[in-house]
Structure 1
Amino acid sequence: MTRWSFLLLPVLLATCILMPSAIYAAGTLRAGAYAQDISPTKFPSAVNGSMKGGFAQAITDPMHARCVAIHDGAVEIILCVVDACMIPQDICDKAKEIASKRTGVPAGQIMISATHTHSAAALGPAFQSDPDMDYVATVPALIAEGLIKAHENLEPAEIAWGFGSDPSQVFNRRWRVKEQEQYENPFSVTTDRAWMNPGAQNPKVSVPAGPVDPDVGILAVRSAEDKRPLALLANYSLHYVGGNPAISADYFAAFAHEMAGRLKATDTRYQGKPAFVGIMSNGTSGDINNINFASPIRLKRQPGEQIKNVARSVADAAMGAYDNLKWSPTTMLGTSETVLQLGVRKADAAGLAQARQILETVPKDKDGQWADRKAIYARETVKLADYPDKVPVKLQAYRIGDLSIATIPCETFVEIGLDLKKSTPFTRHFTVSLANGYNGYLPTPEQHKLGGYETWRARSSYLEVDASTKIAEKLKSMLAELKAK
């Protein structure tokens, strides 16, 4: 050994330790996954999902941050879906910062989204529900740990994507109010022409106010060596199901468990190797739920029964796509991220004064919270008055071979997702909602004109009326740039 080689040996050894990718040939596709438990450990625990703040006394099924990392030999992305109603941007940013420092993956190549289960521990304020800030302080590091372990689990892999369809579980929950009928909203207005969840066969409504998206998109990775399933990320435009006592990860977790069983991912042959991770992301479901209001009867279900029914149904569609996948040992990854500054809808001076008067005159319930909807929305009006005039809205676009993925930090209306699917320059597309932050509902301008719950001004719906148009236009340009590279 020469003097110079002796001196360089420690440097080479350190490089091998810090850069494990150096042992793989350029262009080698690798993937890894991990599901990190992020459940609270102290109870009662605040829960989002209702206009009144609720509290969970125990865990029905735990909250996870389900992560999959994919490396094409040059670019690495990490996609993470968290069992939460929504995730504020600061939690996402902190988790990404921690993970980026540990993995070297740029924060802009990491996605963190919420499933939108309405029975998880609160991570941010919603209506009269405020989170336990001691718990919230622990969450960024927990999510980051999932991202880091997915990265550490990278191994030579094959990748594939496909689409199934399940129209049986999605219904547009906004119905058109008949011309001669009306109802009063929380702002004493009776001109709304859309009614969310109007009840079974309500004679005041006629037809759904929008379409549905039955697609079940899947992105799957498996080991190149033994072909064992590593992870499957699905996307379905269904708001949530409900019916389990909190804390529960809803049908999103039930789907993950269902897919693990169907893919035989728990086979004893795979013991000692990283566990398979099933992931269900929320598509563009801002106006979609699991209830058919055209039906005269809504069957009563046992706790968790409908969650399992939906999980099995969607898994059927996912497996139909999985059985026809064409696996590849290579792919091309691309990413893009931008932040739009969008306007905030606030009350004028008269509206703000009226809201404060309502809060002074309407009494609270024994639990210290308002039950009256006018008071609840008056409180939201006052809260929004403290918002800046514009807020940052973070958007991402991903290229995975001929598949494109867009992310939006909102409860996105289905029309927007369908438009992006139609306009993508790639072969197929899906959109992940509630990603990298939370900016409330995202109706189209046309749906804003119809009114209804999702348009009512609150911290759950506050972006400017043209926000969806600006977001869609920007995402289309981002996808076009990724295609051109």
Structure 2
Amino acid sequence: MKAGVAKAVITPYVGIALEGNVRDKGSQGIHDDLYVRALVLKGDDGTELAMITSDLVGVPKDFCDGVRTLVEAETGIPRGNVMVTASHTHSGPAMLGLFGIEVDRGYTEVLKRKFAGVVCMAHRRLGEATVRFAVGREDSVAFNRRIWMKDGTLRMNWEFIGCDEALRRGIAGPAGPVDPEVAVMEIQGASGEPVCVFFNYALHPAILAGDNFDMSADYPGYAMRLIEAVTGAVAMYTNGADGNVNHINVNDPEQGRGFEEAERVGTIVGAEVIKALARTRKSALPVPAVGHVPVACASRVIDVPRRELTGEEVDAARRLAGGRTFQELSKLLALVDGVPDEIYALEILELAALREKDPYEHIELQAFRVGDAAFVAIPGELFVEFGLEIKGRSPFKPTFVIGYANGYVGYIPTEKAFSEGGYEPRTARTSQLAKEAGRLITEAAIQLLEGLAR
């Protein structure tokens, strides 16, 4: 097998709009640089795969299509063998244009070239390599953000930040699990030196919330910088099925937010990556891989219904919006967490127009095989229950379930979450799919993985 890796800075200008929270002004500074990173793998049969990670909130489908076209033209790697992912940092430049946040199209056009360019660099650096996998466990920093109360109601865990103790005493417990698995792929060069550490962990990079105006990769940036300092390799982070998972511990009223907390969480996650690799070395298990390493790709597009909207919902949204624009409302209604009702109203109107054009979302699912491991890419915010199911039923160990990949279709909740309520199922372009979407996507992803195993 051969491998090549590269990275490049993609930090935009100060003043560009940030996306992930509703803010009333653009970025005010740069706390840490944002990067795009690329890993190119070439199997013994000549099959080439490109994996791109980025410190961005998301990558829309048309952007990914443009990147893939450039990569294929400049390297010969088939467009279907290119995986484009984002970490989902809430402190990066606007990419998706949701909740009325303005995307700088000039920046994104340059960004396409940078994404393709970093793949070209990695492709030119292809050299003999070995690969090995490790799996760590980290369950102290990720929490299911949907909380059951003793009175049978459901709240989001950010509602408990700074709350009075009476509210906290009403907590019954989390409404779902987390995924503690830290999946790691290490690529070693011909001399055995680490050249790339690729890892996956399901946790929202939203420690820096709507009151932060400095660009940052959030906790994954701290994790990657630690890994790079220790190993000398290029570190690459992909998010997992984090749709209902964040860092907020409702049982810790003293928990902080901001950069100090992002550093704490990132250091813990990065350290677990390093420890997982160290344990693998010590155990002398049959990794590293030598000789023939199967490298393969499969993908399919499934048609998933967009959520139906009643005439009453659309009329109510129109009344609440009152003819105001996203820009007018965002200046009046910025929040540290969550989204104002008036902005949701405009989102419903946008979704109604989308559904009138096409009642289906055409969702690409993609899977890579590297040896006995697999990577499955899903273009949205998959609930953790689905991620755990995919891993449990996959014929590959480990299986990297990668969210925010090759597009963005919003939240993909479980069907029961719709009856429970809460933030994620609330109708908007960030949550636009029918209730059955999660089941359709999960089954299709598992079928892809099973096909790669044959």
Please report the TM-score for the alignment, with normalisation by the length of structure 1: 0.84
Residue in structure 1 matching 2:255, options 274, 292, 299: 299
Q: Deviations over 1:404-436 (max 9, x none)?
A: 211110111111110011101123212000000
Query: Taking structure 1 as reference, are residues 278 and 149 closer, same or farther at Cα in structure 2, changes over 3 Å only?
Result: same
In the TM superposition, residue 177 of structure 1 has moved relative to its aligned partner by 3.4
The alignment status of 1:399 with 2:355, answered yes or no, reads no
The alignment status of 1:382 with 2:349, answered yes or no, reads yes
- What corresponds to 2:164 in structure 1? none
Please tell me the residue identity of whatever aligns with 1:405: F
Q: Deviations over 1:75-119 (max 9, x none)?
A: 111111111111111111100110111111111111111101000
Q: C-alpha distance in 2, partners of 1:284/1:105?
A: 27
Partner of 1:238, secondary structure, is coil
Where structure 1 has 5 or more consecutive residues not aligned to the other structure, the ranges are: 1-28, 183-192, 266-275
- What corresponds to 1:254 in structure 2? 222
Match runs of 1:1-40 below 5 Å:
29-40=1-12
- What corresponds to 1:169 in structure 2? 141
Q: C-alpha distance in 2, partners of 1:53/1:131?
A: 15
Residue in structure 2 matching 1:66, options 37, 43, 49: 37
Q: C-alpha distance in 2, partners of 1:172/1:54?
A: 30
Match runs of 1:468-483 below 5 Å:
468-483=438-453
Please tell me the residue identity of whatever aligns with 2:204: H
Q: Deviations over 1:419-459 (max 9, x none)?
A: 01110112321200000000000111122221110000001
- What corresponds to 2:120 in structure 1? 148
The alignment status of 1:134 with 2:90, answered yes or no, reads no
Match runs of 1:428-439 below 5 Å:
428-439=398-409
- What corresponds to 2:237 in structure 1? 280
Q: C-alpha distance in 2, partners of 1:104/1:395?
A: 22
Maintained 8 Å contact 1:78/1:147: yes
The alignment status of 1:344 with 2:306, answered yes or no, reads yes
Where structure 2 has 5 or more consecutive residues not aligned to the other structure, the ranges are: 162-166, 282-286
- What corresponds to 1:329 in structure 2? 290
Q: C-alpha distance in 1, partners of 2:101/2:169?
A: 33
Q: Deviations over 1:267-294 (max 9, x none)?
A: xxxxxxxxx3101110111111111112
Cα RMSD for the two superposed structures: 2.0
Counting aligned pairs with the same residue, the percent is 29
Partner of 1:260, secondary structure, is helix
Residue in structure 2 matching 1:312, options 258, 267, 270: 267
Query: Taking structure 1 as reference, are residues 362 and 436 closer, same or farther at Cα in structure 2, changes over 3 Å only?
Result: closer
- What corresponds to 1:16 in structure 2? none
Please tell me the residue identity of whatever aligns with 2:216: S
Partner of 1:430, secondary structure, is strand
Q: Which one is further off, 129-138 or 193-202?
A: 193-202
Please report the TM-score for the alignment, with normalisation by the length of structure 2: 0.90
In the TM superposition, residue 362 of structure 1 has moved relative to its aligned partner by 8.0
The alignment status of 1:87 with 2:59, answered yes or no, reads yes
In the TM superposition, residue 40 of structure 1 has moved relative to its aligned partner by 1.4
Partner of 1:231, secondary structure, is strand
Question: Which structure would you say has the larger Rg?
Answer: 1
- What corresponds to 1:17 in structure 2? none
